[in-house]
Amino acid sequence: MKCNKCGNEYPSQYYFATEDICQSCFEKLDDNEREIALRNMHLMDDAIDTRVGFGRRFGAFLIDAMLVSIITGIVIYFSGFFTNFSNFITVIQDIPPTNTSEIMQEYMSFFDANKVHFALITGLNLVYFLLEILIGASVGKMLLGIQIMSREKAPAPTLNLIIRYSLKFSNSILSLLFFITMLFPLTFLNNLISLVMFIGLFFIFGQKKQTLYDMISKTAVYHKIEEN
């Protein structure tokens, strides 16, 4: 953890008087600066108390997953992918299970012939969730009355939303790059980052109700603020 005053790194919050000012720097502040720092800390505590936890965010995810599946299904049906996939399954079923080399050859042929379809499926997912950058909420979040904001419960800067989006959908982004370039090292990188992001999802059960990508992008999810 880094102190915003001196720039020193510390191993835990234990060394801090506020969320981002270490004990040593806090003691050097005058009374007015200390009061402002403590007031900001209390405002942050109030903001944390109003953050949206796992339940409603998971509900938004389910809505978005259903909508993306419907949109993707319609698009790839008319693109001919379903027909290609059906033919692939028919061919695979006719090959003896012990003939792994032929099965793998058919699989690679199917994959190579349908790279555009795989890229299209991945791209649709990325395009759908661009709303989280443009307006700070996907359709699922909007329907459940929640939105992405800064961790201080203010409108999130666009850069922060871009960072959050890039981390949250790093799996789709790297998969799309792989389908375009066919660079196999991307699959290793994808698996590694996906594992880290998956573990980071469980951080939402912590006191701050932030996933790892929320923490890195300095964002959090709150109930939508109604505009007057």
Q: Does residue 170 share a domain with residue 71?
A: yes
Q: Is 206 inside any structural domain?
A: yes
Q: How far is CA 145 from CA 27, 56, 156, in A?
A: 42, 9, 16
Beta bridge partners of 16: 22
Q: Does residue 96 share a domain with residue 45?
A: no
Give every CB contact of residue 211 below 8 A, 6+ residues apart in sequence.
168, 200, 201, 203, 204
Q: Is 140 inside any structural domain?
A: yes
**pTM attached to this predicted model:** 0.74
Q: Does residue 145 share a domain with residue 86?
A: yes
Q: Is 4 inside any structural domain?
A: no
Q: Is 153 inside any structural domain?
A: yes
Q: How many CB atoms lie within 10 A of CB 13?
A: 10
Q: Does residue 196 share a domain with residue 135?
A: yes
Directed axis angle between helix 81-93 and helix 54-79, to 10°? 90
Q: Is 5 inside any structural domain?
A: no
Q: Does residue 160 share a domain with residue 124?
A: yes
Question: Looking at the 3D structure of the chain, how many domains does it have?
Answer: 2
Q: Is 138 inside any structural domain?
A: yes
Q: Does residue 96 share a domain with residue 22?
A: no
Beta bridge partners of 147: 222
Encode 106-116: b = buried (16+ Cβ within 10 Å), e = exposed. beeebeeebee
Instruction: Please tell me the predicted confidence (pLDDT) of residue 104.
Output: 83
> Bigger pLDDT: 148 or 13?
148
Q: Is 3 inside any structural domain?
A: no
pLDDT digits over 76-125, tens only? 888 888 788 888 888 888 888 788 888 888 878 877 787 888 888 889 99
Directed axis angle between helix 115-128 and helix 81-93, to 10°? 130
Range 36-47 average pLDDT: 63
DSSP track, 153-218: SSPPPHHHHHHHHHHHTHHHHHHHHHHHH--THHHHHHHHHHHHHHHHHGGGGSTT---HHHHHHT
Q: Does residue 188 share a domain with residue 148?
A: yes
Q: Does residue 128 share a domain with residue 70?
A: yes
Q: Does residue 43 share a domain with residue 135?
A: no
pLDDT digits over 52-72, tens only? 989 999 999 999 999 999 998
Report yes or no: 76 and 120 within 8 Å, Cβ to Cβ.
yes
Report yes or no: 132 and 148 within 8 Å, Cβ to Cβ.
yes
Q: How confident is the model at residue 40 (pLDDT cuts 50, 70, 90)?
A: low
Encode 199-227: b = buried (16+ Cβ within 10 Å), e = exposed. ebeeebeeeebbbbbbbebbbbbbebeee
Range of the domain at 45: 13-49
Q: Does residue 58 share a domain with residue 38?
A: no
Q: Does residue 143 share a domain with residue 76?
A: yes
Q: Is 44 inside any structural domain?
A: yes
Q: Does residue 202 share a domain with residue 130?
A: yes
